[in-house]
A and B are shown apart, each in its own frame.
Chain A
Amino acid sequence: MLGTRRVKQPGEEIRQSHAAHKDLPCVMCHEDVPEATTVTDHLRPPEAKCLECHGEKKDQKECGYCHTDPAHPGTYPQEAHNVIISHKTHLKLVNDDCTACHVKLSEYSRPGPTPPTMKSCTKCHDHRVDFDEGGCNRCHTDLKHFPLKPVAEFSHAGDFVRQHGSVAHETADACVQCHDQSFCADCHAQTAPTRVELKFSENVTSDFIHRGDYLTRHSIEARSDPVLCQRCHGISFCTACHNQENVGPGGSNPRRPHPPGWALPGPTSHAVAARRDIVSCASCHDQGPNSNCVGCHKVGGVGGNPHPIQWGQKHSMAEAYGTAMCKYCHQ
């Protein structure tokens, strides 16, 4: 059905028949419809509207004329309306012919919701275009409750793993039509307990960042695009794991992963590697003022000036003495 679900089922229903009222114009009872720009329960006639013709039944206490359970009279079943449609606009387009969309009308003898099906919409609207573009929320306000085709049918094909961040940064409202943030958390939660590749180990056709033996290539990937790692993990993530593996100085039995001559000037000096991939250094050695870099590279130290070329043109000495980070060396 078109974006309408029955969310409450009262114990009784209204004995209402469209067939019995077929000779009357629809707006005689649904008088709010011609000006309605949204869908609400108020589009159905209130009791007062019924009583304009059937008031004598109430006066005569014939509650059972309308209510199936006169001892507990209620109103219509409430329905959740998850569709955007303006009756005001559409009535003009169909020359006030409600049956152009409302092909089937509800009857007490034939219970169940009878809003127009989506075919009524696609008679005029090219759903294929909206569908391909993932433009669901042009009509639907909440698709989470509806059975959907696999997401690959929407615009999630192609370079979506790489581009979805951009989509979310700029038009996140579109994503939430179908996805709760718990869906995002599968991959992006800072607190995630396990790799998403393990959580969805059977999804071999999906594109995952850390698929397979990521441990072996993680240092290469981090060197290739350090920002990609930093967006999610932060340096402390690296440090914690390296210390656990005893390749960081904070481990219980740390090993020295560096080659001979690492600390001295020369072909295997750390200087080149540090300039190329400081994040790799920081993944073990980021201890703030206690980092071993400070010992040699602070002002007056044997390591000399570590700043990149043109650093001095961009930063003043006043900044050096006024910034906590700089003070580690510029005391």
Chain B
Amino acid sequence: MATSQIGARAVVACLVALAWGTARAETVTASSTTIVSGQRDPRDGTVHTVVPFLELVSLRASEINNPLLDDTQIVVSGWGEAVAGSPRDGKSTLGDVDVAYLQGSTWNRRMTLRLGRQFVFPGTAANLQLDGLAPTLWVGAGFGLSGFVGVPVTPRFGYSRGEFTSGARVFWSHSYESEVGASILEILGAGRHVFRRDAGADARYRLLDSLALSGLLRWSLSETRLAEANAAINWRPCRYVDVTGDYRRTAPDLFLPRYSLFTVFAQETRDEVGGFVLLRPWLRRLDVQGDFHEVHDANGWGWNTGGKATLRLGSGGGTRVGVESRRLKIPGGGYLMGRVFGWQTITTKIRVVADFDVYGLDQPINGYDRSFFGSGSLVYDVAPAWRAVLTGMDNVTPYATHQIEGLLKVIYDGGHVVKEVTP
């Protein structure tokens, strides 16, 4: 049933750990989302009907009493799906674990350990998801050392993104928003071939209350050239203005597996520079934002620009309306998008939501240069922490002459203590 590398034994281990943690935890929070949808799915000239039933569950057991670790917690998030009708990939049941880790501190809270399926965000790891161990050691005076070792998680619909990964980062943390680090990363694929081997430096520093700088530099050790560099400056002089300028260089070929044949054809650089402005002339009522980024690669220049305005009316923002537009222009293609959306509170428990967008394509697809998409939702707050959402979607696109999809969601998001253990 599971779709990724996580095996039956790992699933059992997760359940055992969760059961142990839940039994000993002082706080357990839970959330659940049930989604039933129905759609007409045109494939190879035939319209199929697909009705997926999806259940997503998250649990967090914290303050787990044990003699080994402080601040112990277990976090598990997973899903299961049963598909009625004609599933696209022929599988009628699916399921997997998104996150499942045990975390705790030791050595007078100087060391934090996290074991299991998790994300590693800092430095060159940059959002790497793995099954493994990630310790962090706080040395003192803001200095620290973190590392990880494990197996990269196999994506859904995909094959392995590496068979073994390890990395480390040293950092100096001046405050919550100011930190400087240096890191290394290696991902090995089948046959111990190098998938990625990078060294990098990262920094985020708040120079003034209103001014922050951030940047990341990643150097490919196997190719001895820059894999990625980005820098951004954010200026927020007051609550009414937010300005960001950023530059990013990437080497697209270095984001392919190094043993992929296509790395020899791919472009070696792509540059992007631009900025973003948010204005709130009528605080909490009107947001106006715009962005522009110039893009350059071996094919020439392009740009990506857009704007969005959102207006809130009524007490508590009971009515919201917005318009948005985006223009993407690259050599050989692009699109122009227009969108309107709205949100109206009917009663304290009921609101309706609508969204409509249209795309004009520079280059037709399947002979069509327009795409229309509309959706409407009825949201009902059934009870505290419980919500039901009924959504209908209708679209006319180059890939589907006319497609209708319906979706019913039942959401429980406790987000609060559901259990307190008394001694």
Is B101 an interface residue, CB under 8 A from the partner? yes
Is B325 an interface residue, CB under 8 A from the partner? no
Known contacts A194-B35, A274-B265: A324-B353 contact under CB 8 Å: no
At the interface with chain B, which of A61-69, A92-100, A117-125, A210-218?
A: A210-218
Flag if A213 contacts B373 (CB, 8 Å). yes
Chain A residues with Cβ below 8 Å from B259 are 288, 324-325
In angstroms, how far is the closest chain A Cβ from the Cβ of B130?
A: 10
Chain A residues with Cβ below 8 Å from B158 are 190, 233-234, 236-237, 240
| Most A C-beta atoms less than 10 A away, residue of B99, B228, B264, B355 | B264
Kindly identify which residue among B27, B257, B389 contacts A7, using a CB–CB cutoff of 8 Å: B27
Size category, B interface: 35 or more
Is A264 an interface residue, CB under 8 A from the partner? no
Known contacts A212-B357, A236-B158, A278-B265: A217-B335 contact under CB 8 Å: yes
Flag if B252 contacts A202 (CB, 8 Å). no
Is A331 an interface residue, CB under 8 A from the partner? no
In the complex, what distance in Å separates the CA atom of A173 from the CA atom of B66? 24
In angstroms, how far is the closest chain B Cβ from the Cβ of A160?
A: 9
Known contacts A133-B209, A162-B276: A281-B98 contact under CB 8 Å: no
Produce 1/0 per residue, A11-55, CB < 8 A to B.
Answer: 100000000000000000000000000000000000000000000
Flag if B361 contacts A216 (CB, 8 Å). yes
Flag if B209 contacts A180 (CB, 8 Å). no
Produce 1/0 per residue, A133-167, CB < 8 A to B.
Answer: 11111100000110000000001011100110111
Chain A residues with Cβ below 8 Å from B361 are 216-217, 220
Is B242 an interface residue, CB under 8 A from the partner? yes
Produce 1/0 per residue, A156-200, CB < 8 A to B.
Answer: 011100110111111111110000111011001111111000110
Kindly identify which residue among A237, A276, A282 contacts B157, using a CB–CB cutoff of 8 Å: A237
Known contacts A9-B422, A170-B179, A234-B158: A190-B129 contact under CB 8 Å: yes
Chain B residues with Cβ below 8 Å from A234 are 155, 158, 161
Known contacts A162-B276, A282-B262: A202-B377 contact under CB 8 Å: yes
Known contacts A129-B209, A204-B355: A216-B399 contact under CB 8 Å: yes
Chain B residues with Cβ below 8 Å from A253 are 44
Known contacts A201-B389, A324-B259: A275-B265 contact under CB 8 Å: yes
Chain B residues with Cβ below 8 Å from A129 are 209
Size category, A interface: 35 or more
Kindly identify which residue among A168, A173, A193 contacts B176, using a CB–CB cutoff of 8 Å: A173
Flag if B88 contacts A244 (CB, 8 Å). yes
In angstroms, how far is the closest chain A Cβ from the Cβ of B296?
A: 12
In the complex, what distance in Å separates the CA atom of A80 from the CA atom of B52? 42
Is B307 an interface residue, CB under 8 A from the partner? no
Flag if A281 contacts B63 (CB, 8 Å). no
SS of A interface (majority): helix
In angstroms, how far is the closest chain A Cβ from the Cβ of B218?
A: 10
Chain B residues with Cβ below 8 Å from A237 are 155-158
Chain A residues with Cβ below 8 Å from B264 are 306-307, 311, 325-326
Produce 1/0 per residue, A64-105, CB < 8 A to B.
Answer: 000000000010000010000000000000000000000000
Identify the closest chain B residue to A158 (Cβ).
Answer: B242
Identify the closest chain B residue to A217 (Cβ).
Answer: B335
Known contacts A227-B250, A236-B158: A8-B423 contact under CB 8 Å: yes
Kindly identify which residue among A145, A236, A281 contacts B155, using a CB–CB cutoff of 8 Å: A236
Is B298 an interface residue, CB under 8 A from the partner? yes
Task: List A216-241 residues whose CB lies under 8 Å from chain B.
Answer: 216-217, 219-221, 223-227, 230-237, 240-241
Is A313 an interface residue, CB under 8 A from the partner? no
Identify the closest chain B residue to A255 (Cβ).
Answer: B44
At the interface with chain A, which of B7-15, B16-24, B74-82?
A: B74-82
Flag if B335 contacts A167 (CB, 8 Å). no
Task: List A237-296 residues whose CB lies under 8 Å from chain B.
Answer: 237, 240-241, 244-246, 253, 274-276, 278-279, 281-282, 285-286, 288-289, 291, 293-294
Flag if A165 contacts B204 (CB, 8 Å). no
Identify the closest chain A residue to B375 (Cβ).
Answer: A201
Known contacts A159-B244, A193-B156, A194-B54: A8-B276 contact under CB 8 Å: no
Flag if B204 contacts A166 (CB, 8 Å). yes
Is B226 an interface residue, CB under 8 A from the partner? no
Identify the closest chain A residue to B37 (Cβ).
Answer: A198
Kindly identify which residue among A144, A170, A190, A244 contacts B4, using a CB–CB cutoff of 8 Å: A190
In the complex, what distance in Å separates the CA atom of A275 from the CA atom of B299? 8
Chain A residues with Cβ below 8 Å from B85 are none
Given contacts A191-B3, A193-B156, A278-B252, 15 further A-B contacts (CB under 8 A): A8-B421, A9-B420, A133-B177, A158-B242, A159-B244, A188-B129, A190-B154, A194-B35, A205-B341, A213-B372, A220-B333, A225-B272, A227-B250, A276-B331, A293-B265
What 6 A-B pairs come out closest when comparing CB atoms? A236-B158, A182-B77, A170-B204, A158-B242, A189-B98, A159-B276
- A sample of 25 cross-chain residue pairs with beta-carbon separation below 8 angstroms, ordered by A number, consists of A134-B176, A158-B244, A158-B278, A158-B289, A168-B121, A170-B179, A170-B203, A171-B204, A180-B58, A185-B98, A191-B98, A201-B391, A212-B339, A223-B332, A226-B252, A227-B250, A231-B126, A236-B157, A237-B156, A246-B43, A275-B267, A286-B261, A289-B261, A325-B263, A328-B261
